[in-house]
Amino acid sequence: MDNNERQTGWQFKTNTGILKRNRLPQRKDLEEYNSNLKKININALDIEENKELIIRSMKAVVSTCYCCYNPSSIHDSRLSLSKEIVLNLSMSTDEGIREFCGNAKSIFQNIDHSDFTKLRQIDILESTANSFSKKHQNGKLYPHSFLSDYNRIVFSSAFRRLQDKAQVFSLEEHDYVRTRLTHTIEVSSIAAHLANQCALRIASKQEESKKNIAFQLEKVLSCAALLHDIGNPPFGHYGEDIIKNFFIKNWHSFTYNTYNKDGTIEKEDVKFEESNDLHKEDFIKYDGNAQSLRIASTLQVYKPGHSLELTAAVLGAIIKYPIKSSESTKDKLGYFYSESKVINDLTALGVFRYGIRNPLALLLEAADDICYVTSDFDDVVKKNILSYEDFLFELNRITTTDEQILRFKRDFEKFYAENRELSVNSPFELTIRRITNDLKLKLISEVIDAFCNDENYSKIMQGISILNNNKQKLTSKSGAETIELLNIIPSANLIEWLRTNVFVKYVYPCKSIITDEIVGHEVLTYLLETLCKAVLHLNFNVDAVGELALLPQNNKKEYKQFEKIFRLISRNFVEQFKEDTQGIEINSMKHIYYRFRLVVDYVSGMTDSYAKEVYQVLKGIK
């Protein structure tokens, strides 16, 4: 293997983040490990009996060092906890543990006293921890980190709720039509295929190494695909528009109460001021992609007191638009202000670069779009939204010379004629099923070719920028700059033709979708109005046992209804809200930001049916 090939393989692994199996260090985990280490006499300890605790503690210290190596992180509370863990571990007589502790102390000293920019020392620390881990496995096989991620996602409640969220059609009773869950599984399948084939084509010629990279990349992208729509609100993408428009319309008509420390109302119905637009863009530009990161990194509980705690590689791959809301011009953003700390950690771990797309996010987006243009096309035909006569009319109007579109037309005519001869039942459905399946395979092949093309691959690894500047972009078929793989493949014009002449013309204006949108607008707008009014007027002082007071000391009767409404919100969301607002002054706009965040977390996490049910309960209909 020559140097160029070795460099290409290393570049591929580092830029896709598959080397970063670290889980972001959580303060709760560090506190738990530190507390448990203090309870045992580590100097006389039976390592085999406590090996799980020791290994987890060492890995947590390594991840903390990665995330806090910058001198600006000296006062990060996780760093001080990691130092305590190392202090406890250093009492051990085990040579492997003592070597690990010595390396860790050296890193801590550098962080405290100088500009520490050499990650090589942390890599050595990680190697020491891994060596100790392997030494004490005793033949026991542990699941790969990315397989653990996959299981955590699949068994999460947020993933299950996708079964009752719309892909194209809300509150759908037809069992053939795809829900958001079946769409997600299909995207995961295609994403894994893309990752596997791209890795095999790009990675080194060393067979074992190539297979290992392909396996890891496949698992990272299949996990990311399972998460890609997990933050979408009820009623499909229209739900995103409802949330955005609600906050755009109401932001400067909101009023809130301020409270004294004794729980009495200080001022009632205070109006928002222009100067109080703190992180307003997070709500008026609400995006399901950013909510997906929040769920994956913060909201979803893996076990009591713990989020999913996914690997950095998986979290980095789900961020389609690596930009914050204040710099987003097309209402596409990758993260909210509330996840700033997560982004800082992912940046330190090398899987996030501001404004630069993660290579795996490009493949994930392509897999999503392939499903959109093929599977959704199949659904609209099955539901008789697009008839044979309508589609034939559109085909006969084609005047383009684009070979891919003309071939698609010829294939349709050929397959339809064959199916009509073979079957009198639904020849149009059978033809669409065949032609969309062929198109899916064709698009997958074209995306792999586009990603692995020398010129494109070089640009992707340097970093495709989504910012409006002269940084790196891909070149579409028309010669324009683009950030999407599907715009540079041979079938790009065919995809655009299908979008324009099938979805825009026949699907989106159809009666069932318009009805769903009307229902969705009424339901979500009412829920947002009701919940926001409640959280803006309740008392959020914390009582002696750490609970939210909610009711003011005066006007209790008037606010009793607000308290009842607040109690509808899932306890998990409330607990996260308490953690987010710890130490924040309750009358500040920052506190109000997290109150809105709580409402949006709750509403966007609803299924279509549950949103409708809560609406009916609050309205007194049910």
Q: Indicate the residue among 85, 101, 135 that finishes a domain.
A: 135
Give the pLDDT confidence score for residue 132 in this predicted structure. 86
Give the pLDDT confidence score for residue 597 in this predicted structure. 97
> β-strand 255-259 against 265-271: which pairing, if any?
antiparallel
b/e 489-522 (16+ beta carbons within 10 angstroms → b): bbbbbbbbbbbebbbeebbeebeebeebbebbbe
SS (H, E, C) 273-324: CHHHCCCCHHHHCCCHHHHHHHHHHHHCEEECCEECCCEHHHHHHCCCCCCE
Residue 482 phi, psi dihedral angles, 5° rounding:
-150, 165
Q: What is the pLDDT of residues 423-438, one digit of tens each?
A: 767 888 899 889 999 9
Residue 126 belongs to some domain of the structure: yes
Tokens 């996030």: give the residue: 352
Q: Indicate the residue among 135, 162, 186 that finishes a domain.
A: 135
Among 158-172, 421-435, 522-536, the range scoring the smallest mean pLDDT is 158-172
Residue 351 belongs to some domain of the structure: no
Contact present, 272 and 203 (Cβ < 8 Å): no
Q: Is residue 119 pLDDT above 80, yes or no?
A: no
- Alpha carbon distance 608, 118 (integer Å): 49
Contact present, 503 and 563 (Cβ < 8 Å): no
Residue 443 belongs to some domain of the structure: yes
Domain that holds residue 393: 386-507
Residue 200 belongs to some domain of the structure: no
Give the pLDDT confidence score for residue 367 in this predicted structure. 96
Residue 452 belongs to some domain of the structure: yes
Nearest to 272 by CA among 257, 261, 282: 257
Q: What is the pLDDT of residues 98-107, one digit of tens each?
A: 899 999 998 8
Give the pLDDT confidence score for residue 503 in this predicted structure. 82
Q: Would you call 620 exposed, middle or buried from its count of C-beta atoms within 10 A (0-12, 13-18, 19+)? A: exposed
Q: What is the pLDDT of residues 590-616, one digit of tens each?
A: 999 999 999 999 999 999 999 999 999
Tokens of 213: 């990279």
Contact present, 188 and 173 (Cβ < 8 Å): no
Work out the average pLDDT over 501-511: 78
Work out the average pLDDT over 557-585: 92
- What average pLDDT does the chain have? 87
Q: Is residue 338 pLDDT above 90, yes or no?
A: yes
Q: Indicate the residue among 120, 135, 150 that finishes a domain.
A: 135
Q: Is residue 361 pLDDT above 80, yes or no?
A: yes
**HSE value, Cβ hemisphere, 13 Å, CA-based, for 98:** 6
- Alpha carbon distance 211, 602 (integer Å): 42
Give the pLDDT confidence score for residue 2 in this predicted structure. 47
Q: Is residue 12 pLDDT above 80, yes or no?
A: no
Confidence at 456, pLDDT banded by 50, 70, 90: very high
Q: Is residue 64 pLDDT above 80, yes or no?
A: yes
Contact present, 357 and 483 (Cβ < 8 Å): yes
Give the highest mean pLDDT range of 88-97, 271-280, 408-417. 408-417
Among 117-131, 251-265, 306-320, the range scoring the smallest mean pLDDT is 117-131
Q: What is the DSSP string of 442-453?
A: HHHHHHHHHHHS
Work out the average pLDDT over 400-416: 92
- Alpha carbon distance 328, 326 (integer Å): 6
Give the pLDDT confidence score for residue 272 in this predicted structure. 87
Work out the average pLDDT over 20-48: 82
13 or 546, greater pLDDT: 546
- Percent of the chain with pLDDT strictly greater than 90: 50
Query: pTM of this prediction?
Result: 0.91
Q: Is residue 539 pLDDT above 90, yes or no?
A: yes
Confidence at 82, pLDDT banded by 50, 70, 90: very high
Work out the average pLDDT over 253-280: 87
Give the pLDDT confidence score for residue 382 in this predicted structure. 79
Work out the average pLDDT over 386-406: 91
Q: Is residue 123 pLDDT above 80, yes or no?
A: yes
b/e 133-152 (16+ beta carbons within 10 angstroms → b): beebeeeeeeeebbebbbeb
Residue 171 belongs to some domain of the structure: no
Give the pLDDT confidence score for residue 501 in this predicted structure. 87
Q: Would you call 376 exposed, middle or buried from its count of C-beta atoms within 10 A (0-12, 13-18, 19+)? A: buried
Among 266-270, 281-285, 383-387, 430-434, the range scoring the smallest mean pLDDT is 383-387
* Number of neighbouring beta carbons within 10 Å of residue 282: 24
Residue 270 belongs to some domain of the structure: no
The count of structural domains within the chain is 2
Confidence at 380, pLDDT banded by 50, 70, 90: confident
Q: CA–CA distance from 480 to each of 179, 394, 443, 476, 491 (Å)?
A: 34, 27, 20, 5, 16
Residue 440 belongs to some domain of the structure: yes
Q: Is residue 175 pLDDT above 80, yes or no?
A: no
Q: Is residue 169 pLDDT above 60, yes or no?
A: no
Give the pLDDT confidence score for residue 187 in this predicted structure. 95
Q: Is residue 492 pLDDT above 90, yes or no?
A: yes
Q: Is residue 1 pLDDT above 50, yes or no?
A: no
392 or 48, greater pLDDT: 392
CA 523 to chain centre: 25
